[in-house]
Amino acid sequence: MTDPTPTASHFVNGTYFDDANGDELPVVFPATGETIATLNTATQATVDAALDAAQAALPAWRAMTGTERGRILRRAADLLRARNRELSELETLDTGKPLQETLVADAASGADALEYFGGIAAGLTGEHIQLADGDWAYTMREPLGVCVGIGAWNYPTQIACWKAAPALACGNTMVFKPSETTPLCTLKLAEILMEAGLPPGVFNVVQGRGDVGAALVSDTRVAKVSLTGSVPTGRKVYAAAAEQMKHVTMELGGKSPMIVFDDADIDDAVSAAINGNFYSSGQICSNGTRLLVQSGIYESFVERLTRRLTGAVIGDPRDEATNFGPMVSAMQREIVLGYIAKGKAEGARLVAGGDAIEGPGFYMQPTVFADVTDEMTIAREEIFGPVASVFRFEAEDEALSRANNTGFGLAGAVFTRDLARAHRVVAGLEAGTCWINTYNLTPVEMPFGGVKDSGVGRENAKAAIEHYSQLKSVYVAMGSVEAPF
Ligand code: NDP
């Protein structure tokens, strides 16, 4: 396994450095509970140094052509791919996710983002607009300035790349704060970007808890904040950003519905339910945690889903045979077990799992509740762990209105062989990202994000460019100026 100890805690202005006055930040390997590295959090001096570096690097970086910027990002994508194993091992140590997953999902997705936005950087242009009397206008697409990225702990490499790649392609610079729980991977990304030729100061990493994030968000040097996190944190960050009219992207939590009709391919639907509830031990924002299943196949679906869980290989995430690892932390496991207790107390039928697994590390069983009803706590609140809830429904209208009966709006899916119904139901879903007959596929070519409480803005695809650039309109007069007097 790769050595998880980073050269230092922070990466500012092209170099690693430590902040001796910062608090200790232990990094715990979720599979054993052991501390594998100790970093320190950023003091205000480090936050200042990072923002100053990002501000100083901005003029030269934005003045480069998109082609030049793109070449650096694409080189970084190649380096990520070439070092996939080392980066995947680090991601596994940081998060506890099985190597079987990280080898294909994390650095690989980050590399896709760097390659995609590296590829379109050269094509970012304004437009020409013909006006009356020979006058005309043009628009210029300008970067926003210094952007702040703040990440959650479930996909540290991917989250940093999904934010940095479009930001940098547009000519912005960035200061990124990873989650305190998973601080290691983003440092490697900074190192690789430098190796690819990124000028110092364009991408900086500072470690810390929520207070460091808050200091970044409220700083006047910052033009934009992109957060991946929970809805309560999103509300705080959005409000703080609004004080200074900053741009925001908010990628927040979800309680997404997966609607399975009687005519669906039931094995596909069960496979999707497994991917959409138990991959990464269920710690995925867009998971389809409300499985709405039509009554004709309800019992069969519950039985097949439960049976398939016996195929989970729970073990050391460093073993490539393992396909179900620990939760990220003891605290997150406690939160999830609390929800399971509420599910039982409120009358849901526990059909699989439900318990913590004894021994070192933060393991728990993949869990399924059946006969869940809409008013139960487990039906309404985001659990963010390996807990699936199955609901019974009779009619299409009923399924749609119950699916939408939530403040969240991140994702949703429909499983049916009826093409017209699939599109009709998806059109009615109040969700930013939807799938038909599959779940949780998020290629960089497709915009990703939520509506309602689940977020503002979009990541990935051409849509992300709108959230990391602004237009300047220029009116060009070709004749003389007339005035009334
Ligand atoms: P949190 O909301 O707890 O934290 C997110 C980030 O915000 C962390 O880096 C955190 O720092 C930081 N933070 C906390 N308070 C503040 C503040 N006042 N100002 C600025 N930054 C702050 O989320 P989790 O890390 O627990 O992640 C899980 C959540 O993320 C779930 O709700 C999940 O749905 C959501 N998520 C959404 C995704 C999406 O794309 N829509 C994808 C992945 C996850 P620290 O942790 O260091 O205290």
Mean pLDDT, range 447-451, rounded to an integer: 98
Mean pLDDT, range 157-180, rounded to an integer: 98
d(CA 46, CA 251): 26
Structure confidence at residue 384 (pLDDT):
97
259-288 burial, b for 16+ CB within 10 Å, e for fewer? bbbeebebeebbbbbbbbbbbbbbbbbbbb
What pairs with residue 35 in β-bridges? 28
Mutate to test the pocket of ligand 1, among 41, 218, 230 (most ligand atoms within 8 A of CB): 230
CB 262 within 8 A of CB 252: no
Pocket of ligand 1 (CB under 6 A): 150-154, 177, 179-181, 209-210, 213-214, 217, 228-230, 233, 236-237, 251-254, 285, 382, 384, 410, 450, 455
Mean pLDDT, range 179-193, rounded to an integer: 98
Q: Which two tokens stand for residue 208?
A: 């810390």
Q: Which two tokens stand for residue 295?
A: 């009554």
What pairs with residue 459 in β-bridges? 448
Alpha-carbon distance values, 232 to 251, 252, 336, 373, 396 (Å)? 12, 9, 17, 25, 32
Structure confidence at residue 342 (pLDDT):
98
Q: Residue 229 Cα, ligand 1 centroid: separation in angstroms?
A: 3
Alpha-carbon distance values, 133 to 475, 477, 483 (Å)? 13, 9, 16
Provide the residue ranges of all domains of the chain, joining segments of one domain with +: 10-252+454-472, 257-436
Structure confidence at residue 296 (pLDDT):
98
Mutate to test the pocket of ligand 1, among 186, 228, 331 (most ligand atoms within 8 A of CB): 228
Whose CA is closest to 359, among 414, 299, 305, 314? 314
Q: For 91-123, what is each residue's pLDDT tens digit? A: 999 999 999 999 999 999 999 999 999 999 999
Rounded to the nearest 5°, which phi and psi values hold at 203? -135, 120
Name, in order, each residue with C-beta under 8 angstroms of 397's C-beta and a sequence gap of 6 or more. Answer: none
Alpha-carbon distance values, 358 to 32, 110, 364, 367 (Å)? 12, 34, 8, 16
Structure confidence at residue 187 (pLDDT):
98
Task: Give the residue whose CA is nearest to atom 35 of ligand 1.
Answer: 229
pLDDT of 440 > 90? The answer is yes
Rounded to the nearest 5°, which phi and psi values hold at 10? -120, 160
Is the domain 257-436 a CATH 3.40.309.10 member? yes
pLDDT of 455 > 90? The answer is yes
pLDDT of 419 > 90? The answer is yes
Structure confidence at residue 1 (pLDDT):
87
* Distance between start and end Cα atoms, the chain: 80
Helix axes 156-169, 184-195, angle to 10 degrees: 40
Q: Residue 158 Cα, ligand 1 centroid: separation in angstroms?
A: 14
Task: Give the residue whose CA is nearest to atom 31 of ligand 1.
Answer: 230
3-state secondary structure the chain: CCCCCCCCCEEECCEEECCCCCCEEEEECCCCCCEEEEEECCCHHHHHHHHHHHHHHHHHHHHCCHHHHHHHHHHHHHHHHHCHHHHHHHHHHHHCCCHHHHHHHCHHHHHHHHHHHHHHHHHCCCCEEECHHHCEEEEEEEECCEEEEECCCCCHHHHHHHHHHHHHHCCCEEEEECCCCCCHHHHHHHHHHHHCCCCCCCEEECCCCHHHHHHHHCCCCEEEEEEECCHHHHHHHHHHHHHCCCEEEEECCCCCEEEECCCCCHHHHHHHHHHHHHHHHHCCCCCCCEEEEEHHHHHHHHHHHHHHHHHCCECCCCCCCCCECCCCCHHHHHHHHHHHHHHHHCCCEEEECCCECCCCCCCECCEEEECCCCCCHHHHCCCCCCEEEEEEECCHHHHHHHHCCCCCCCEEEEECCCHHHHHHHHHHCCCCEEEECCCCCCCCCCCECCCHHHEECCECCCHHHHCCEEEEEEEECCCCCCCCC
pLDDT of 204 > 90? The answer is yes
Q: Residue 453 Cα, ligand 1 centroid: separation in angstroms?
A: 14
d(CA 314, CA 340): 19
Task: Give the residue whose CA is nearest to atom 41 of ligand 1.
Answer: 251
CATH superfamily of 10-252+454-472: Aldehyde Dehydrogenase; Chain A, domain 1 (3.40.605.10)
Mean pLDDT, range 466-471, rounded to an integer: 98
Task: Give the residue whose CA is nearest to atom 46 of ligand 1.
Answer: 179
**Percent residues over pLDDT 70 in the chain:** 100
Which pLDDT band, with edges at 50, 70 and 90, does 231 fall under? Answer: very high
Q: Is 460 left (phi over 0), alpha (psi -120 to 50) or beta?
A: left
Which active-site residues does the annotation give? 251
Q: Residue 338 Cα, ligand 1 centroid: separation in angstroms?
A: 20
Structure confidence at residue 394 (pLDDT):
98
pLDDT of 273 > 90? The answer is yes
Instruction: Give the other-Cβ count within 10 Å of 8's Cβ.
Output: 16
Q: For 389-412, what is each residue's pLDDT tens digit? A: 999 999 999 999 999 999 999 999
Q: For 34-50, what is each residue's pLDDT tens digit? A: 999 999 999 999 999 99
